[in-house]
Structure 1
Amino acid sequence: MRASLSPSGPAAAPHHAPRRPLYRWLGGAAMALGLLGGGYALVAQIAGERGIAPTAASADIEVKGITVDAQGKNAEDARANGWREAQRKAWAQIKGPQLSDSQLDALVSAIVIERERLGPRRYIATLGVVFDRSRARGYLGGAQQASRSAPLLLIPVQESGGAYIAFEQRNPWQRAWAEFNPGASRIDYVRLSGAGGDSLLVNFGQTQRKSRVWWRSTLDQYGATDVLMAFARLDHEFPGGPIKGTFTARYGPDSRPLDRFTLRAENPDALSAMLAQAVERMDQVFTGALASGKLQPDPSLRLGGGGEIDPAIQRLIDIGRAAQARRSAEAAIAAGEVPLIEAQPVAGIEPGEAQVRSITVQFATPDAASFDAALGAVRGAGGVRGVGVTSTAIGGTSVMSVSFAGSLEELAAALEARGLTVRRGANALAISR
């Protein structure tokens, strides 16, 4: 083999002219890919088979993992007896009152076969039973009718071999959440499929962000009010051997821990069952946190849409600053010092204040830090009543809508006073550092 690869060996093949067009074609293809540049890379990040759409989103009540071992006159009779036994066990598991088999038949909307073995007169299976919520609620009392949470975005993160994966590629942890039926849960989960731009917006890096502007923009994309994070660390003892899973439930943009537990799968074939059990237990953790009041909405995510501060809150802030300035002046006078007092405009209380108008402002955002810095600089300018982000483009130019009490020239002057370079347009400004 070595002789055939050596150009000086006896088996070395000479270069023939017919191969040159192939080299030229390959060179042209490489040049074309190079010209595509970042556009090709961007398509590669969102293309491919990434998404796992949630397969169970019914509001019905589902009970999984019911094991039965039934006998009958024949295979069909044994199966029917096994299904009736599963219905009774599932009904008892959700603490339903005593009912006859015919009454339970009217409440059951589906039997899910997880695993089954069928003999001539025997039926052994693991089943799931789905009860119709509208028909069963009259028997179950208040526990199944409790109010649900606000919509909460769920981010499942799997750690395996030092790599953290959310929606960048398909993984068993995401699939377990996609197959989970939240119908009986008090948590209103917003579950993503991971297709399209989900892998760019919601990834492991997003769970580490602290910027409320980023979080508000992401949550608004999916109609959620806050975020839940489900971390799963999978440790394989050896190939084909046991798998230890460490699961951590977290809440909110600050990733506050709620609970942590471990499970074990004896082999890779048992991994799916272990992850399904972990999802059920995670749901219990989130539900318990909701009942104990830990899932309180984050006030920093409620300051208007896209980073805009509510005018009433801004007015209170300005009034507090003015009061603090007066106290400082009085203290200086009492000490015999001559204070230097700067005028402090208070929003909404001066007579004859200029009319508030909306002005479009473009700003360069090469990275997340510059995005936050630009928003902070504009919010701090005098006369600004609110800021709303209308377009976000990290690595390009973003756009904000500024509510300003004054003219375009006055806003430009206020921004220049804060050290920004301002270019003027038709009812629009462009700012940069």
Structure 2
Amino acid sequence: MKPVNPSDFVVPAPRRRFRAPMIALGVALAGVGGWYAIAQLAPGDRGVAPIDSSSNYEVTGVQVDVAGKTADEARTAAWRLAQRKGWKILWGRMHGLGPDAAPGVPDSTLDSIVAGIEVEQEQVGPHRYIATLGILFDRGRTGEMIGSVNGTPHSAPMLVIPVEMDGAGPVTFEQRSSWQKAWARYRTGQSPIDYVRPYGNGPDPLLLNIGQANRPGRLWWRALLDQYGASDIVVPEVHLQRRFPGGPIAARFIARHGPDGEVLGTFTLAAPNTAGLDKMLDQGVKQVDDLYIQALNGGRLKPDPSLTIEEPDTPTDDLLPTTADDPLASVISGIDQNNATIQLETGDVATLDQAQAALRAVPGVQSASVQSLALGGTSLLSLTYNGDLAALKIGLQARGWRLEGSGTALSMKRGGPAPAPAAAPPAPPTPAGQPKP
């Protein structure tokens, strides 16, 4: 290798990404295209949009050092070399073998399956190009070429709540943090863990705050998981300790799982200064993901059964015999299962919990789950019950709630008149000759 002469290079270019180039047509330097790293938000806005997590395979840290007649010629040759190296690394990773075992692929084919090239670090000279690159491969096209791989189990959808502790106190989505940005940068498409990564805007800071991350109660977790389309929770934590401003940063990472915060593993990393914080956190995300993958393969990353709403068992024929001659058969056949949607004004979580508890306490109610949650507004409850609507209204009145409406659209409010008392039986007739009472 030719020794590096510092005078041959200009100032190192900053990290940037390029749309997948068709190198045969030239090097395209402009065009980030349909994928991005972090959403650029206006000052004061919350939220970090995760990068695409399903369409690309990523191979990072591909080093190249190529000389050429011109700077463009050296860069083009280096990118072609990076594509070849990246393909071999990806094939070996997917098959559990070394890069040397990967089959050769023509450059024209690599041009068609490479979705993008990420410049992690580069030095550009008039006749030489030295860089560390990341190669993005299109999942659909590359998957056909990789072939069948030994199946790896995939997890249930996991809601990610990243917790960062850095001097001022723990935060999740209350404000944008370096840990949240690291999880947004991470490409989860290559992981068997199905991560559900909230943006952190809208209602996320209210619903997924640090208090919720530490709350063991299952009732509220069920509503949140249904809202975000997940089945379980993972809470990756990072504890940052800064020795002095601008100095080294020590970090302790904890991989937690489930509403009880089960610890699946811990490790520590360090950054030499503030400039190396993002790189350390990116490495921390990858190692936390490895801990979750190990737990998945070991059978420890299973959804908590208490997070699943179980329907009551229906009586079997052995426990409740009904025959044509049985008088109870006509009664049972006359009870139909009904479904309804209930509108409920939910100013806080306690109101929702109390309303669901009152519904489930009424005889005949099979389930009362949250269909749409709106704190401070009107939430929707999905109700399944046996019997008629009048009996349901009377049962709720006895528990301090009023149910209005008819059919499948109902409205539930607190309070209401108590059920009317039963009429007194008529007095027996007075025998003749006796004075009336």
Q: Do they superpose with TM above 0.5?
A: yes
Structure 2 residue aligned with 1:403: 384
Deviation at 1:268, TM superposition (A): 0.7
After alignment, is 82-91 or 187-196 more displaced? 82-91
Report the 3-state secondary structure (helix = DSSP H, G, I; strand = E; otherwise coil) of the residue aligned with 2:162: strand
Which residues of 2 match residues 131-210 of structure 1 at below 5 A?
131-143=137-149, 146=152, 148-210=154-216
Structure 2 residue aligned with 1:39: none
> What amino acid is aligned across from residue 90 of structure 1 in structure 2?
G
Q: RMSD of the TM alignment (CA)?
A: 3.4
Structure 2 residue aligned with 1:371: 352
Structure 1 residue aligned with 2:106: 102
C-alpha offsets along residues 301-344 of structure 1, whole Å, 9 cap, x if unaligned? 332xxxxx42xx34379x99x9xxxxxxxxxxxxxxxxxxxxxx
Q: Is 1:168–1:203's contact at 8 Å kept on the other side of the alignment?
A: yes
Task: Give me the whole-angstrom Cα distance separating, in 1, the residues matched to 2:167 and 2:49.
Answer: 25
Change (3 A) 1:384 1:125: same
Change (3 A) 1:410 1:174: same
Q: Is 1:144–1:184's contact at 8 Å kept on the other side of the alignment?
A: no
Task: Give me the whole-angstrom Cα distance separating, in 2, the residues matched to 1:233 and 1:181.
Answer: 23
Task: Give me the whole-angstrom Cα distance separating, in 2, the residues matched to 1:368 and 1:169.
Answer: 22
Structure 2 residue aligned with 1:229: 235
Residue 249 (str. 1) matches residue 255 (str. 2): yes
Q: Is 1:166–1:204's contact at 8 Å kept on the other side of the alignment?
A: yes
Residue 52 (str. 1) matches residue 53 (str. 2): no
C-alpha offsets along residues 169-228 of structure 1, whole Å, 9 cap, x if unaligned? 222111112122222222222222222222222222221223333222222222222222
Name whichever structure is richer in helix by fraction.
1
After alignment, is 182-191 or 273-282 more displaced? 182-191
Report the 3-state secondary structure (helix = DSSP H, G, I; strand = E; otherwise coil) of the residue aligned with 1:235: strand
Residue 90 (str. 1) matches residue 86 (str. 2): yes
Tell me the number of residue pairs that the alignment of Structure 1 and Structure 2 aligns: 352
Change (3 A) 1:237 1:77: same
Report the 3-state secondary structure (helix = DSSP H, G, I; strand = E; otherwise coil) of the residue aligned with 1:196: coil
C-alpha offsets along residues 265-289 of structure 1, whole Å, 9 cap, x if unaligned? 1011111111111112222222222
**What TM-score, normalized by structure 2, do the two folds share?**
0.69
Q: Is 2:396–2:403's contact at 8 Å kept on the other side of the alignment?
A: no
Percent of residue pairs bearing the same amino acid type: 41
Report the 3-state secondary structure (helix = DSSP H, G, I; strand = E; otherwise coil) of the residue aligned with 2:314: helix
> What amino acid is aligned across from residue 102 of structure 1 in structure 2?
P
Q: Could you tell me which of 400, 409, 412 is aligned with 1:421?
A: 400
C-alpha offsets along residues 48-81 of structure 1, whole Å, 9 cap, x if unaligned? 4112112333422101122333333432333234
Structure 2 residue aligned with 1:123: 129
Q: Is 2:397–2:415's contact at 8 Å kept on the other side of the alignment?
A: no
Task: Give me the whole-angstrom Cα distance separating, in 2, the residues matched to 1:397 and 1:183.
Answer: 36
Task: Give me the whole-angstrom Cα distance separating, in 2, the residues matched to 1:349 and 1:278.
Answer: 65
Q: Is 1:68–1:125's contact at 8 Å kept on the other side of the alignment?
A: yes
**What TM-score, normalized by structure 1, do the two folds share?**
0.70
Change (3 A) 1:374 1:287: same
Long gaps (5+) in structure 2: 1-42, 93-98, 321-328, 417-437
Task: Give me the whole-angstrom Cα distance separating, in 2, the residues matched to 1:421 and 1:413.
Answer: 10
Task: Give me the whole-angstrom Cα distance separating, in 1, the residues matched to 2:293 and 2:348.
Answer: 37
Deviation at 1:105, TM superposition (A): 3.1
Task: Give me the whole-angstrom Cα distance separating, in 1, the residues matched to 2:315 and 2:170.
Answer: 43
Deviation at 1:250, TM superposition (A): 1.6
Structure 1 residue aligned with 2:267: 261
